[in-house]
Structure 1
Amino acid sequence: MAEDCGDDTISTLPNDILLNILDRLHVSDAAKTSILSRRWSQLSAKLPRLIINPVPEDMLSLFGRYVSCAKISDGYLARLNAATFKATKSVLAHRDPGQDTVRLLSTTFYLIGDVPISIGHAVGEAMAVHQIEKAEFTVLTVKGREQCGLVDLVSYGTQFVSLFNECRNAFIGLTRLYLENLRFAESNLVSNIFVTCKLLKYLGLFNCDTHKWITLQIEHAQLSELSLVNCRLDKVELKWLPKLTRTTYKFWMSFKELPLSFGHVPLLEFLELTNVTFTSHKMVTLSTLLPETCVQDLRLGFKCEKVR
């Protein structure tokens, strides 16, 4: 039949199967199929999931989830970032407004140069004309935690603040946000993230803090998962989080009994607490920490006898 129609075997497959195949490719490879024919061009514009990552899968498998700057040059990362923007803009530009809901738009990029703001604008514009069920930003830094000094943390924090202020339209629609290696000069920046990102279901902060030690009070109607790892905060108060189900808090620096308290968290099921505690740290008393929660999965990782 393929010979009679003059088509290759793959092109004879129905659209839903071809879309399933394209959905399994890296988005840049899927976008390249648009040059094959008008049909393929229309298919690549209908992808239900757009997972845009600057680091190829083979590099991830070779170096791990987070690629150290010791293994990839800044210039190459800048080119990867630019390629991410090009792919993001291309796949979104080919979609017809109001048609074919995007089930997932996940974009990963590095805080380097002006490309992050360009990506933010492209995603914000897409949110204005397309229906997007889930939108995710994974914001990485060129240097990992081990290589980051104070100057690096402040510089990355400043770059992120510029991105956040310039691209509020994109952040308003986010459902997932991961940030790493940032120090904010403004003490209320993290609180502003919760106020702006009203649809946020997941927030992950790794090695993030503010210039001054702060008490972070969190109230959010949609947040279901919170992960704080190696963050320099005086205290975290989970005041009103009606949909929160999972909380991870690792490696805090405060010397209070536990810089974490729970208010209205009726659905909390999973709690992980890990810390390399010192003799100057006070005892963590679980009976006073979790008096009115419904935690079913409690995971503790203390390196000395500082929990009871």
Structure 2
Amino acid sequence: MGKRNNNRQVLLRPRQIYKGAMGKKNNTDDRLSALLDDILVNILDRLNAPEAARTSILSRRWSQLSAELSRLIINARDFVPEGVTITNISFDHMNAAAAEATKNMLARRNPGEHTISLLSTAFFLRDGVPKSIGHAVGIAMVTHKIEKVEFTVLTEKKRLQCTVDEMEKYGAQFVSFFSGCLDAFSGLTRLYLENLRLAERDFVSTIVATCKQLKYLGFVNCETEMWMTHEVEHAELSELSFEDCTFGKVELKWLPRLTRVKFEIWRSFVELPLSFGHVPLLEAVTLIHIAHSWHKMVKLSTLLFETSVKELHLGFRCEKIWVEPECLTRRLASAFQQLRIVNLDCIPEGYDLTWTMFILEAAPSLEELYMTVCSTQKLVVWFSF
């Protein structure tokens, strides 16, 4: 008879581990409880907020461990009872549960004892819940050491379902939330906003000036007055994203740590309403546009001059190529000197590729070129140099 192998390795997912712990509630000899505290905290860090919070009822030890989590990720959309779909539960219920979880999980911790590496909250812009979460986070910033703090501000309506009146309502609600929680916003490292119309003059600049620790700022389907020019200066911001927004003109004047920019669709503007100033670390630029006959073509050598872009993603989604082919000049060579990866997405069917030759000629360090052609059957072309 061969020896029996008792050293089988079993891989459990975090939810399986959580359910196993719940099932072992009355068994003091279970293997899970024999693990070191650091390992159990690592397991709890991988659960969503409702599951991690429920472990505190298992025992005094589990209650203490839940107060040592390094990652607090609280998303209102996670607070849906089992067997109930998100469409059948009220936003008020999800929001209230997220606010309560945020306050409870922060209040349970001993001030200054354990560092919070990430405090991330996602909630709906509705009633007084955002301010409740903002005040709890603002107090936590004073009493705890927190490395990263994130707000994801959601709305009930999806992007294509929002009316102008609803966007104005959401915009006013966000301004009230922002004004009432300046302490929390001053320490944010990531901020995502959607479906807002910010009618107040220069409020985008106010956000940037207040949120001095921001690393990421993202807008989706947001608007300001068309005539506004937004001059953006920020010492810490490394990633900036505008998707389907109408923001007047955006001038990135001074962003010494900016590495990535996404600018999608400039709607009613004849010319690209985006310009770069001092952005010495800029590496990745994404420009996506639906161009019409009256749109002027973009000259990349002018836009990217004095940058060090290594990745360039151009999306077309139209019947018109909006990038102007250029002759090889010193200015163009300077703009494309560091270029490594180019992605040309959704090139209109019927265009030959001669207009892309200026990119190949001007980018001596190019390593990868991706192209997709829009047609009834999408054609994907990939080149590696």
Tell me if TM exceeds 0.5. yes
Percent identical residues: 58
Q: 2:87 aligns with which of 48, 62, 72?
A: 72
1:18 aligns with 2:34: no
Q: 1:151 aligns with which of 140, 165, 170?
A: 165
Unaligned runs of 5+ in 2: 1-23, 325-385
Q: What is the letter of the counterpart of residue 34 of structure 1?
A: S
- Paired position in structure 1 for 2:68: 46
Name the CA distance, whole Å, in 2 between partners of 1:176 and 1:213.
27
Tell me the C-alpha RMSD between the 2 structures. Answer: 1.9
- SS of the residue aligned with 1:51? strand
- SS of the residue aligned with 1:183? coil
Question: 1:114 Cα deviation (Å)?
Answer: 1.1
Question: 1:99 Cα deviation (Å)?
Answer: 1.1
Question: 1:52 Cα deviation (Å)?
Answer: 0.4
Asked whether the equivalents of residues 270 and 294 of structure 2 are also in contact (C-alpha less than 8 Å), the reply is no
Question: 1:266 Cα deviation (Å)?
Answer: 0.3
- Paired position in structure 2 for 1:180: 194
Question: 1:145 Cα deviation (Å)?
Answer: 1.4
Written as runs of structure 1 = structure 2, the 5 A alignment for 1:159-198 is 159-198=173-212
Question: 1:104 Cα deviation (Å)?
Answer: 0.2
Name the CA distance, whole Å, in 2 between partners of 1:58 and 1:85.
14
1:246 aligns with 2:268: no
Q: What is the letter of the counterpart of residue 125 of structure 1?
A: I
Q: 1:282 aligns with which of 296, 300, 303?
A: 296
1:305 aligns with 2:321: yes
Number of matched residues?
A: 295
The C-alpha deviation readout for 1:185-209, integer Å capped at 9, x for no partner, is 2121110001100000000001111
Q: What is the letter of the counterpart of residue 102 of structure 1?
A: I
- SS of the residue aligned with 2:270? coil
Question: 1:234 Cα deviation (Å)?
Answer: 2.2
- SS of the residue aligned with 1:187? coil
Question: 1:58 Cα deviation (Å)?
Answer: 8.8
The C-alpha deviation readout for 1:28-54, integer Å capped at 9, x for no partner, is 211111122221111000000000011
The two structures have a TM-score, normalised by structure 2, of 0.74
The two structures have a TM-score, normalised by structure 1, of 0.92
Asked whether the equivalents of residues 213 and 232 of structure 1 are also in contact (C-alpha less than 8 Å), the reply is no
The C-alpha deviation readout for 1:48-86, integer Å capped at 9, x for no partner, is 000001113999xx99xxxxxxx726x611100000001
Written as runs of structure 1 = structure 2, the 5 A alignment for 1:105-124 is 105-124=119-138
Q: What is the letter of the counterpart of residue 127 of structure 1?
A: M
Q: What is the letter of the counterpart of residue 157 of structure 1?
A: G
The C-alpha deviation readout for 1:75-130, integer Å capped at 9, x for no partner, is 61110000000110111001110111000000000011211111111111111100
Deviates more, 1:209-218 or 1:290-299: 209-218
Question: 1:233 Cα deviation (Å)?
Answer: 2.0
Asked whether the equivalents of residues 79 and 94 of structure 2 are also in contact (C-alpha less than 8 Å), the reply is no
Asked whether the equivalents of residues 109 and 140 of structure 1 are also in contact (C-alpha less than 8 Å), the reply is yes
1:31 aligns with 2:53: yes
Question: 1:215 Cα deviation (Å)?
Answer: 1.0
Q: Kindly tell me: are residues 201 and 36 of structure 1, through their superposed partners in 2, closer, same or farther at Cα, counting changes over 3 Å?
A: same
The C-alpha deviation readout for 1:240-299, integer Å capped at 9, x for no partner, is 000000000001124232111110000000000000011111111111111111001001
- SS of the residue aligned with 1:233? coil
Name the CA distance, whole Å, in 1 between partners of 2:153 and 2:191.
8
Asked whether the equivalents of residues 255 and 280 of structure 1 are also in contact (C-alpha less than 8 Å), the reply is no
Unaligned runs of 5+ in 1: 64-70
Name the CA distance, whole Å, in 1 between partners of 2:182 and 2:110.
24
